[in-house]
Structure formats: structure tokens, C-alpha cells
A and B are shown apart, each in its own frame.
Chain A
Amino acid sequence: MVKQISKKTLIKNGRLIDPKNKIDQVTDLLVDDFKVAKIGSHLTDSAVHIIDAAGKIVAPGLIDIHVHFREPGDDEEETIASGSAAAVAGGYTSVVCMPNTHPPVDEATAVEYVHRMGRQARKTFVYVMGAITKDRAGQELAEMGLMAEAGAVGFTDDGCGLQDAAMMLLAMKYASMFDLVISQHCEDHSLAKNGVMNAGYKATVLGLPGVDPLAEEMMLWRDIQLVRKTKARYHAQHISTAGSVKIIREAKQQGLPVTCEATPHHLLLTEEAVADYDTNFKVNPPLRTQKDVESLRHAVADGVIDALATDHAPHLQSEKELEFLSAPCGMVGIECALPLYRKALIDTGVCDWSAMLAMLTWRPAEIIKVQKGSLAVGDRADIVVIDPDAQWSIDASQFYSKSRNCPYQGWQAKGKVLYTLVAGEVRFEAKG
């Protein structure tokens, strides 16, 4: 007789951090089927898979609302399958793919395609945002309603900003019918031009065209005024400058429905990293100055930053080998994001684990309106088990991601994902 495999998992003696429910205590947690069944001390159960989590952190699975898994179209760089495997290795149980694929996700069948590939990969939950405009061309609205029905969790033309103010006004008004977020990549092309790094002295010395912080801030400021008028839910992606932080902070103080995200690289790296023309540091928006990094960290501390998102952007080695001017923007990092956040935020005293995990769980979940990011009894068992102090060396050649454009190669990381459970099933377990 075949023994039935138990769907129960008992996580013992872990430090349960559930920021949404304000829990931070050492306890046991029992997963039954796909849900959290019991939380409490000295739980026992027969025929269970036991995870000894003594000295470890047990938290809701991480949610990344900004990834590029390149499918359809560029599956040499990444596929939804490889990206999903990378995601669970990084502790992520839900991700939101951006629609700038080839073809773009600008209609319902494309949304369904991404979902289907996500289900088949059977790693992390894969959500997707739809494009705001057809072909992301900024000219006509895409079928937001039908995409929403198919399960799109928001709209964005990410990869570039929606340039035309009247078009943005239209999009905000229309999207509010579905109560889905408009997520903007803030970049005014008339100011950014062909810039490839932060404008200023460093760009001058390197002889590279710069992108002034104004390119981001002008569009962000404009959008905030449109939000003021439409009351549409608005999310600013990967903000990178002190000025952007100020604009968002003020908008929030005025009670506007505005949220924003910060990436590991904008919280850790500066334009100085570009000094050697290493294209792995070429990213959009570009790496800024130490002052901007400090400002973003400060914004994390006082709650202005709602979500931490990786902007995981795989690219082929052959493309990243081009001259700095011609190489594509973006870096991979979903598999090492957690220790990077730790380094940027916890090691610097900006915030504690609970506050940091909030920006990686329930707060991004609220932006995309999904019931996730908490671990109360009855919640779906998306769980990550973290060894907060485990040290390891970042080695992109070992990544599940198909691409290797990682600027953190060789860095010493502190904090390691040991297990990732998605809907109660162990989908990732660290080797060794």
C-alpha cells in the first residue's frame, strides 16, 4: 500500500514575525493542507514534516511587485519558470511581472498566458500587471477592464513612463473604475534624453550622457497633481532621488492615495559604482548619489516607502558586454534581495526585521489588492524560513535565474532563505 504523503508541515520554535498582525514571538506553526492550521507553543502532530526553526525567522512569504521574467518573447534571458525558481530561492511566494514583454501584456489573453506559465512552473505565485496603453505606445488605452477580469493586478507601461499628461489623466480616471493601481515608471523623456547614468560631475568625468533627477521628479510631481484630481490609486515604481521622496512624502501627508517602492540597488549603490563602466551597474532609473541613498533609507524609516521591490531585470551576457552607452538597463537580484535589504536597512539601523518584512509582505499585497502577506490561522500558508545571520557569498553562476547580470557578484551576504513554502508546499529548500 502506498503511504499517503502528509500535507502537514510543523515549523517548530521559530521566531514568527507577522508584521500585519503585529506578532513577533517564538512559537510553533502548523501547516495543514494549504493553510495555517495552528499557532502556539509545543504543538505536536503525528505524521508531519517537521522543520526545526530554532534561531530562525518564520515570516509570511515575500512579495515582489516588480519583476521582469521576460516571457513571452525573450526566453533566452529568463522564462517564467526560471524566474519563478529564482523567486522562491529568494524567499518570494508572490511576484508581479511587468508587461514590457514581446509582445507586451496589453490584453487579456496575454494576462492569462502569464498566469498559465506561472501555474505550470509551480514555484511562486505569478501575478502580472497589464499595460496602460496598447503596445505600451502611450497613444490609446489598453483593454484594462478585460485584463482586470483576467486577473491583472494593476497597470503600468513600465520600461518607460507614460509621457503624455492628458493620456495619464484618462488612464487614471478609467482605472479607478476597477480600483486597480496605476503604477508608473517616472521618467520624462524630454529631460532624460539619451542619458545612461546619473547626471552630474561623475557623468562628466566618464563622458557619459546623464539623466537629471528632474526627469523622474517632474513626472512624479505631474502625476501627483493628476491623482489630486482623479483620486486614482497611484504607485511610483523604483523611486531613486531625494526629490522624489519629498514629493511622495508631501502627497501622503495630504492624504492622496499614493504609494511607492524602493529597490535594493537604490538603497545600496551610488553612481560611484559606474566608475569602471561596468554595465552591470547600468540601470534605469540610474544609481544616484549617497545623499539620495540616505534619503531613501530615511523614507523607509518613516514609512514613506511602502514596498521593497527588486526590479529583477535579466539580460544576456552578450548584451551586457556592449559599451556602456549601448548596453541594456537592469540587473538581477531576486535571489539575493533579502540579505541586500538587510545590509541596507537593518545593519544600518534604519528599521527592524518586522518593519522590513512589512514592506516585503502585507504592504505590497495591499497595493495590488491581494489577500496575502500575513500568517494568521486560516491564512494561506505562504511562508519563508530565514536564517537571519547565515553568511554566504553571492555567486551569480549558481543562480536559478537564466541571466548573470548581477552587480553583487562576490559580495558577502548575511541572511539566508532556508525554506520557501507556497500554499503549504515546500517549493524551495536551501542546500546543505
Chain B
Amino acid sequence: MRKNRKFQWSRKHLIGLSDLSRKEIEFILDTAQGFEKFSRRSIKKAPTLRGKVVVNMFFEDSTRTRNSFTLAASRLSADVIEFSKKASAVSKGETLIDTARNLEAMGVDIVVIRHGAGGAPKLLSRSINACVVNAGDGFHEHPTQALLDVYTIRRQRGSLDGLKIGIVGDIAHSRVARSDIYAMTKLGAKVTLIGPPTLLPGGVENLPVRVSYNLDEVIEDLDVINMLRIQFERMGGNPFPSVREYSHYFGLTADRMKRAKPDITVMHPGPINRGLEIESEVADGPNSVILKQVANGLAVRMAVLFLVNQAATQQGKDK
């Protein structure tokens, strides 16, 4: 028999990477690879999700992620509804669940949600039948960002096994860092978190990572460095005295790059605060894969939309 039992993707929601297996993560990446060259075709569209409705529910401002999801859904021929609402307005009037149920009544198949409250996508997935894809919730997870990060590293380096990866910056308030830690360590990389103690999360000792307060000390060892965006809007309480002092210790400057391995891969989830966490010369330099990350994001999101819809199709049979 040739039809040996192939891997089956069975999740109709993508909430986070913490409970995904290595195999599942690799399957998403493999699927994304099938979509990578899509952007180079003359007609950048396939009928895969024709007749399906994808809602982009963004309760937080976002340009990059929203556009990426919109484009991904459009390229698969889905109809896309853009929905945005400030989280504050929602808590006064219609609740998240009400809103979602209303949308579902219109026959929505996939809800892509960005929300300021950690756990909002999970709440949604419990309350509606449509597939739920997390596009970032509070400082919980941002799975598609982490997937495109590891996808980019894999394309660049072949594999993550044994790679030394540094994540620098505000880990405490970063959903990207959390999802990155899960994805990278599951794929075999050794992750070091680098930042001031005030920007490291509680219970960090229980995460499968090492911690350093000294970028200069660890940068020599790193194969990949991911510079997180300093998100002033999320911090509060001034966890460091000034931008100048932060950059002095944790900014990726051209000078600091001299200590790094010549082939170090420089990443950033964007949008960049130029001159704060990363100098322009480095962000635009030869080691930077920042724009590749954006391009790969599209392939990863197409893969995710395709897979959750497939799982929903499959589960439809079981009902």
C-alpha cells in the first residue's frame, strides 16, 4: 500500500504555539513553503477558499499584520470583512462574544482576531463555530509572527537545531517573544532572553531559556538575534530611565554588530523604532532579514488559513 498514514492537521483554531508539537509546527512551515512562490506568479490568486468568509477583527491598531492577513485571505479567494473597534468601546457596549455571534450569523468561516486582552481568541473559540486565528492577544501569543520568524530562520539556516538565538528587549510585555520562545525551542534552538530585569517576565526561570542582562557579553555567541520593538504603549511605570540609556545597553548598533558573528541573522518583528532598539545601518544591512520576514509572513498566513479551514472541513464530517 502506498497510502501510508500521513500527518493530519486537526486544529480548526490557531490560538498559540505553546501547545503545538514540533511536528505540527513543522507541518505549518512545510505548507507555507508551498505558498512561498505564490507572489511571483502572474495571477497571484488561487480558488482555494472561494466562497469562504474571513473576518479581520482588529481591536488594536495594526497595519502590517492586518494587511498580511487580508492579502493572504484574498489570494486564496476568500471574501474578507474588515472589522475594527477600539477595545474600550466594546467593553461599554457590545461584548466581544456578542460581536462575534453577530458576525457568525452572517456566515463567517474564519475569524482572525487581534485583541488587547490576553485570552480573547481563546474565549472566542469557545463561543463560536467559526475557525479562530490569533493575530496577537495582549501579551499572550502572536503565533503567526513566531511562525514566520522560524520560517525565515529555517530558510536562511536550513534548520533551527542547535542554533543560538537571542531575543532582545521587552520580553515581559511581548506576545511575540512568548510565541518565539515556544516555536524556537521546540524546533531545537537554544534561546537566550536579553534585557533589563524590569523587562523580563515573572517566572522566567521556568521557561526553557537562558537569561542575560548583558548584550555585549552574549552577542558573540549568537547565530540569530531578534530585536523586539520597544512598546511604550504597553509598558507603563518606566521600566528603564531613558531611551538613551536603553539603547546604550540593548540597542543593536553597528558598533555592537562588530562583536557578532559575521553571518549573524538580524530579525525584527516591526515596525522598527530606528535608532532605539536597532540602528538604521543594521536594520538595512546585509545581515538583516527584516523584509524577508514580511514576505514570508504572507506565505505563513496563507498556510494557516488553508489548514484551519481544512481541519474545519474535516470536522464537519464528524458532526
Interface residues of A, Cβ cutoff 8 Å to B: 193, 199-208, 210, 212, 276-277, 318, 321-326
Any A CB within 8 A of the CB of B291: no
Any A CB within 8 A of the CB of B275: no
Q: Which partner residue on chain A sits nearest B140 by CB separation?
A: A207
With beta carbons under 8 angstroms apart, the residue of A204, A206, A210, A212 that contacts B119 is A206
The reply to whether B203 and A324 contact each other, CB–CB distance below 8 Å, is no
Per-residue contact bits, chain B 88-99, to A (CB 8 Å; 1 contact, 0 not): 000100011100
With beta carbons under 8 angstroms apart, the residue of B117, B141, B207 that contacts A324 is B117
Q: For residue B140, which residues in chain A have a CB less than 8 angstroms away from its CB?
A: 206-208
Given contacts A207-B118, A322-B95, A324-B117, 18 further A-B contacts (CB under 8 A): A199-B202, A200-B202, A201-B203, A201-B207, A202-B203, A203-B203, A204-B172, A205-B178, A207-B119, A207-B140, A208-B138, A208-B140, A277-B119, A323-B115, A324-B123, A325-B116, A325-B117, A325-B118
Do A321 and B97 contact each other (CB < 8 Å), given the known contacts A203-B202, A277-B123? yes
With beta carbons under 8 angstroms apart, the residue of A204, A207, A212, A322 that contacts B204 is A204
The contact sample of 11 A-B pairs, CB cut-off 8 A, is: A200-B203, A201-B203, A201-B204, A201-B207, A204-B178, A204-B204, A207-B119, A207-B140, A208-B118, A210-B202, A318-B95
The reply to whether A207 and B175 contact each other, CB–CB distance below 8 Å, is yes
Per-residue contact bits, chain B 178-192, to A (CB 8 Å; 1 contact, 0 not): 100000000000000
User: Interface of chain A, helix or strand or loop or mixed?
Assistant: loop
The reply to whether A323 and B202 contact each other, CB–CB distance below 8 Å, is no
Q: Which partner residue on chain A sits nearest B178 by CB separation?
A: A207
Query: Considering the chains assembled together, what is the distance between the CA atoms of A326 and B118 in angstroms?
Result: 10
Which residues of B57-116 have CB atoms within 8 Å of chain A's CB atoms?
A: 91, 95-97, 115-116
Q: For residue A203, which residues in chain B have a CB less than 8 angstroms away from its CB?
A: 202-203
Per-residue contact bits, chain B 202-218, to A (CB 8 Å; 1 contact, 0 not): 11111100000000000
Interface extent on B, as a size class?
Answer: 20 to 34
With beta carbons under 8 angstroms apart, the residue of A205, A206, A323 that contacts B123 is A323
With beta carbons under 8 angstroms apart, the residue of A202, A204, A207 that contacts B137 is A207
Q: For residue A277, which residues in chain B have a CB less than 8 angstroms away from its CB?
A: 118-119, 122-123
Query: Considering the chains assembled together, what is the distance between the CA atoms of A210 and B30 in angstroms?
Result: 37
Of the listed residues A193, A200, A324, the one surrounded by the most CB atoms of chain B closer than 10 A to its CB is A324
Q: For residue B118, which residues in chain A have a CB less than 8 angstroms away from its CB?
A: 206-208, 277, 324-325
The reply to whether A325 and B206 contact each other, CB–CB distance below 8 Å, is no
With beta carbons under 8 angstroms apart, the residue of A204, A276, A321 that contacts B202 is A204
Report the 9 A-B pairs with minimum CB-CB distance, sorted nearest first: A201-B203, A207-B140, A207-B118, A277-B119, A323-B117, A325-B117, A204-B201, A201-B206, A200-B203
Query: Considering the chains assembled together, what is the distance between the CA atoms of A207 and B120 in angstroms?
Result: 11
The reply to whether A276 and B122 contact each other, CB–CB distance below 8 Å, is yes
Q: For residue B97, which residues in chain A have a CB less than 8 angstroms away from its CB?
A: 321
Q: Which partner residue on chain A sits nearest B122 by CB separation?
A: A277
Q: How far is the CB of A367 from chain B (nearest CB, A)?
A: 34
Q: For residue A193, which residues in chain B have a CB less than 8 angstroms away from its CB?
A: 236-237
Q: Which partner residue on chain B sits nearest A326 by CB separation?
A: B91
Any A CB within 8 A of the CB of B10: no
The reply to whether A323 and B178 contact each other, CB–CB distance below 8 Å, is no
Any A CB within 8 A of the CB of B151: no
Q: For residue A201, which residues in chain B have a CB less than 8 angstroms away from its CB?
A: 202-207
Interface residues of B, Cβ cutoff 8 Å to A: 18, 91, 95-97, 115-120, 122-123, 127, 137-141, 172, 175, 178, 201-207, 236-237
Q: Which partner residue on chain B sits nearest A323 by CB separation?
A: B117
Query: Considering the chains assembled together, what is the distance between the CA atoms of A200 and B122 in angstroms?
Result: 21
Q: How far is the CB of A132 from chain B (nearest CB, A)?
A: 28
Q: How far is the CB of B16 from chain A (nearest CB, A)?
A: 9
With beta carbons under 8 angstroms apart, the residue of A199, A200, A208, A321 that contacts B95 is A321
Query: Considering the chains assembled together, what is the distance between the CA atoms of A212 and B203 in angstroms?
Result: 11
Q: Which partner residue on chain A sits nearest B182 by CB separation?
A: A205
Query: Considering the chains assembled together, what is the distance between the CA atoms of A206 and B175 in angstroms?
Result: 10
Query: Considering the chains assembled together, what is the distance between the CA atoms of A324 and B205 in angstroms?
Result: 25
Q: For residue A210, which residues in chain B have a CB less than 8 angstroms away from its CB?
A: 202
Q: For residue A325, which residues in chain B have a CB less than 8 angstroms away from its CB?
A: 116-119, 138
Q: How far is the CB of A281 from chain B (nearest CB, A)?
A: 12
Query: Considering the chains assembled together, what is the distance between the CA atoms of A297 and B18 in angstroms?
Result: 33
Query: Considering the chains assembled together, what is the distance between the CA atoms of A239 and B139 in angstroms?
Result: 28
The reply to whether A208 and B119 contact each other, CB–CB distance below 8 Å, is yes
Q: For residue A208, which residues in chain B have a CB less than 8 angstroms away from its CB?
A: 118-119, 138, 140
The reply to whether A322 and B96 contact each other, CB–CB distance below 8 Å, is yes
Query: Considering the chains assembled together, what is the distance between the CA atoms of A323 and B122 in angstroms?
Result: 9
The reply to whether B203 and A322 contact each other, CB–CB distance below 8 Å, is no
Q: For residue B91, which residues in chain A have a CB less than 8 angstroms away from its CB?
A: 322, 326
Of the listed residues B116, B119, B127, B138, the one surrounded by the most CB atoms of chain A closer than 10 A to its CB is B119
The reply to whether B203 and A204 contact each other, CB–CB distance below 8 Å, is yes
Do A207 and B206 contact each other (CB < 8 Å), given the known contacts A277-B123, A323-B96, A323-B115? no
Q: Which partner residue on chain B sits nearest A204 by CB separation?
A: B201
Q: How far is the CB of A4 from chain B (nearest CB, A)?
A: 56
Q: How far is the CB of A243 from chain B (nearest CB, A)?
A: 16
The reply to whether B203 and A323 contact each other, CB–CB distance below 8 Å, is no
Of the listed residues A206, A207, A321, A322, the one surrounded by the most CB atoms of chain B closer than 10 A to its CB is A207
Q: For residue B139, which residues in chain A have a CB less than 8 angstroms away from its CB?
A: 207
Q: For residue A276, which residues in chain B have a CB less than 8 angstroms away from its CB?
A: 122
Q: How far is the CB of A272 from chain B (nearest CB, A)?
A: 13
Q: Which partner residue on chain B sits nearest A318 by CB separation?
A: B95
Q: How far is the CB of B130 from chain A (nearest CB, A)?
A: 17
Q: How far is the CB of B177 from chain A (nearest CB, A)?
A: 10
Q: Which partner residue on chain B sits nearest A321 by CB separation?
A: B97
Q: How far is the CB of A275 from chain B (nearest CB, A)?
A: 10
Q: How far is the CB of B218 from chain A (nearest CB, A)?
A: 21
Q: For residue B95, which residues in chain A have a CB less than 8 angstroms away from its CB?
A: 318, 321-322
Query: Considering the chains assembled together, what is the distance between the CA atoms of A325 and B18 in angstroms?
Result: 20
Query: Considering the chains assembled together, what is the distance between the CA atoms of A326 and B120 in angstroms?
Result: 10
Q: Which partner residue on chain B sits nearest A325 by CB separation?
A: B117
Query: Considering the chains assembled together, what is the distance between the CA atoms of A404 and B188 in angstroms?
Result: 45
Query: Considering the chains assembled together, what is the distance between the CA atoms of A326 and B97 in angstroms?
Result: 13
The reply to whether B18 and A205 contact each other, CB–CB distance below 8 Å, is yes
Q: Which partner residue on chain B sits nearest A324 by CB separation?
A: B119
Q: Which partner residue on chain A sits nearest B91 by CB separation?
A: A326
Q: For residue A322, which residues in chain B have a CB less than 8 angstroms away from its CB?
A: 91, 95-96
